[in-house]
């Protein structure tokens, strides 16, 4: 693993390089989605703003997970190149997308639905940054042939462990494909349904991978990420139910207006 690439006196973090590649991948997917829906919006700007905000949110979430360490060594924790929490980035990223929806005069749920496949691919590619930097996001020891050690990582280990970032990349690619296929204009879904499916699928993927990661268990044998995953799954289910109910109500009202028009 190579946490840094040294060029003369300068060093470039490999996590940052992969984060840039993740933004490029997300931008391409979002651009394609805007095009197939005929929406005039700047995908590069949307992804750039959301990425920066998401990184800040993920760092804030991470440091708040360990308040005692934050109080003892605030500067070390805040400026450490390792230590980011996905759900902090997700929450701040969603808030940023809602703001940008107003900028481009799009509906809030419309923007979230369009950005869901991009968020999925961006997360998957970004996880490779955790892999190449060895920042401690790997899993528990394993004897499987694809187990990896991270002797030169930011959080080194000489044991062969599960390369969980690779598992998450594969899961993210599958989720991206599902959302892309289901989110097209040929058979449009109720507003909010694609976002709900994204939250459910990513929540399930993250909940499962946590069983073989090294994060501490904090409640009922679950990690903080698993508890957040359950929240994401529940919110996603609620969003789908509301989206379908609204669509059903609109269809019923339309049928009533049609029947009234015919009767008169």
pTM as predicted: 0.83
Between 12 and 188, the higher pLDDT residue? 188
Alpha helices in the chain (DSSP H): 14-37, 43-65, 67-72, 74-78, 86-103, 108-133, 164-182, 193-209, 224-263
* Model confidence at 1: pLDDT above 80: no
Between 93 and 73, the higher pLDDT residue? 93
Structure tokens at 168: 């998450």
> Are the beta carbons of 139 and 163 closer than 8 angstroms?
yes
Which of the listed ranges 57-66, 235-244, 251-260 does the model predict with the highest average pLDDT? 235-244
User: Residue 65's pLDDT band (boundaries 50, 70, 90)?
Assistant: low
Give the bridge partners for 217, in sequence order. Answer: 223
183, 186, 192, 197 alpha-carbon torsion, rounded to 10°: -40
- Side-chain-side CA neighbours of 43 within 13 Å: the count stands at 23
Q: What is the sign of the dihedral through the CA atoms of 11, 13, 19 and 24?
A: positive
> Are the beta carbons of 137 and 213 closer than 8 angstroms?
yes
Between 73 and 11, the higher pLDDT residue? 11
Q: Map residue 139 onto helix, strand or coil.
A: strand
User: Residue 5's pLDDT band (boundaries 50, 70, 90)?
Assistant: confident
Domain residue spans of the chain: 4-263
User: Residue 74's pLDDT band (boundaries 50, 70, 90)?
Assistant: low
Distance of CA 34 to CAs 41, 55, 114, 192, Å? Answer: 7, 24, 7, 16
pLDDT tens per residue, range 199-243 = 999 999 999 999 999 888 888 889 888 998 999 999 999 999 999
Q: How far apart are CA 195 and CA 102, in angstroms?
A: 18
* Model confidence at 195: pLDDT above 70: yes
């Amino acid at each position: 693993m190579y946490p840094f690439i040294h060029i003369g006196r300068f060093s470039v973090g490999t996590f940052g390089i992969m984060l840039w590649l993740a933004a490029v991948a997300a931008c391409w997917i979002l651009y394609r989605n805007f095009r197939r829906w005929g929406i005039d919006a700047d995908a590069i700007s949307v992804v750039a703003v959301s990425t920066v905000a998401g990184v800040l949110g993920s760092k804030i979430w991470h440091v708040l997970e360990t308040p005692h360490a934050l109080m003892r060594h605030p500067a070390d924790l805040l400026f450490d190149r390792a230590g980011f929490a996905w759900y902090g980035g997700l929450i701040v990223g969603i808030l940023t997308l809602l703001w940008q929806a107003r900028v481009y005069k799009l509906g809030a749920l419309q923007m979230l639905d369009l950005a869901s496949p991009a968020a999925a691919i961006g997360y998957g590619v970004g996880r490779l940054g955790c892999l190449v930097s060895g920042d401690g996001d790997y899993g528990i020891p394993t004897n499987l042939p694809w187990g990896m050690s991270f002797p030169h990582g930011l959080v080194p280990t000489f044991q062969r462990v599960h390369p969980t970032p690779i598992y998450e990349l594969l899961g993210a690619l599958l989720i991206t494909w599902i959302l892309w296929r289901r989110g097209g204009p040929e058979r449009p879904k109720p507003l909010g349904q694609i976002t709900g499916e994204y939250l459910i699928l990513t929540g399930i993927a993250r909940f499962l991978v946590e069983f073989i990661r090294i994060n501490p268990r904090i409640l009922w044998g679950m990690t903080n990420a698993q508890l957040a995953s359950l929240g994401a799954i529940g919110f996603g289910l609620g969003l789908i139910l509301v989206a379908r109910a609204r669509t059903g109500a609109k269809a019923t009202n339309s049928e009533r207006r049609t029947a009234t028009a015919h009767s008169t």
